[in-house]
Amino acid sequence: MIDAEAIAARSLEVLERLVGFDTTSRLSNLPLIAYVEAQLAELGIASTRVPSADGTKANLYARVGPAAPGGVVLSGHTDVVPVDGQAWDSDPFVLARRGERLYGRGTCDMKGFLALALAAAPALARADLKRPAWLAFSYDEEVGCLGAPDMIAVLAREEPRPATVVVGEPTNMQAVRGHKGIAVFKVTVTGREAHSSLTHLGVSAVMAAVSLMASLKALAERLELEANPASPFSPRWPTLTIGQVQGGTAVNILARECQFVFDLRCPPGIDPLAVLGPFFEEARGLDAELKAQAPEAGVAVARRSLTPAFAPEEDGQAERLARSLAGDNGPARVVSYAAEAGQFQQAGFSTVICGPGSIDQAHQPNEYVEISQMQRGAAFMARLVQALED
């Protein structure tokens, strides 16, 4: 029998180390990656980095067990969201236990799962595995799932093909079979500065941007009205929100520039680029109109990310495995957040989301994971080791 209590105890030690690395997405994750490499090397497990283009960050994957197809990937991201402006009761990068909760940035999203996977590595290394377990840790998930695709491509191209992927986003250790995708765009409107009393001499980038934002607001309202009543997601419709707006230098100056960023989250089967087609056409029309008033003016739309949705697999192999390991006999579940599961699925892997903690705690001040969730995760890992031995 695999000792789940030992895995649970070890996971808390590892989580303390992982939380101690400030891997906010704007920073490098390489110190954490080096720590993981060292931990695996002590067990005789070789790991492979898949670096970012500029070399400041890296994905890392490692195989434990035979070089054979049919294994299980334990996947998670190493980056976390910022703590700027949040009111924390303790240092967010020092693990703090209060009662039966563990507080710290990333405890829930999603270093708790990474800690469980690393805590299970010694048991995996000792076991007589018939099929391998893979640890796959990515970067820049929080800013558009930017890092994982390169690692997924290497796994698919160069390694014995795993049968299933478990993405350990927080689900209270329950199997989740689908998520929405996310498309993020930055719009930059350029105008010409002039005194605000002489509007005929300039072009206000803010005034022009308002018309585009109004169109997006109308689109968001229309998507809600056209919601599919049979959709399992909450909310049922594709959601569109403008999250950031910046522009102008003074109230009495026509703004030279205005920027805004929006995201569109679509359920599986809805193409975000098609949904936004009329908006792109409007932006092109406004670009020409502004250039006619001032050659230096215009509109530029830049795509930041296009993360695919994760479609439910009917009787999916990964979901069956996760349910058996988690003891989950509950209803089918989907989530409205985006994750890397859709990217693994797009590469042809049977995928499921299952990890400790609640998404309600993610990105919040005083983020925490329940110790009971880590214990459930440890039992999941212990059963996984046994399953790979059979």
pLDDT tens figures, 235-291? 999 999 999 999 999 999 999 999 999 999 999 999 999 999 999 999 999 999 999
Give the pLDDT confidence score for residue 116 in this predicted structure: 98
pTM, 2 dp: 0.94
- The sign of the dihedral angle between the CA atoms of 161, 162, 165, 168 is negative
Three-state secondary structure call for residue 206: helix
Q: Strand 133-138 vs strand 58-64: parallel, antiparallel, or unpaired?
A: antiparallel
The pLDDT mean for the chain works out to: 97
- Taking each helix axis from N to C end, the angle separating 30-42 and 112-126, rounded to the nearest 10 degrees, works out to 20
Q: Quick one: 4-178+310-389 is in which CATH superfamily?
A: Zn peptidases (3.40.630.10)
Is 79 one of the annotated active-site residues of the chain?
A: yes
Give the pLDDT confidence score for residue 206 in this predicted structure: 98
Domain boundaries, the chain: 4-178+310-389, 182-307
The identity of residue 357, as a single letter, is G
**Which CATH number applies to 182-307?**
3.30.70.360
Strands, sheet with 182-190, edge to edge from the N-terminal-most edge strand? 239-247, 257-265, 182-190, 298-307
Give the pLDDT confidence score for residue 112 in this predicted structure: 98
Give the pLDDT confidence score for residue 66 in this predicted structure: 97
Is 3 one of the annotated active-site residues of the chain?
A: no
Catalytic residue among 16, 140, 141, 370: 141
Give the pLDDT confidence score for residue 390 in this predicted structure: 86
List of the chain residues with pLDDT < 50: none
Catalytic residue among 22, 79, 140, 367: 79
The identity of residue 292, as a single letter, is A
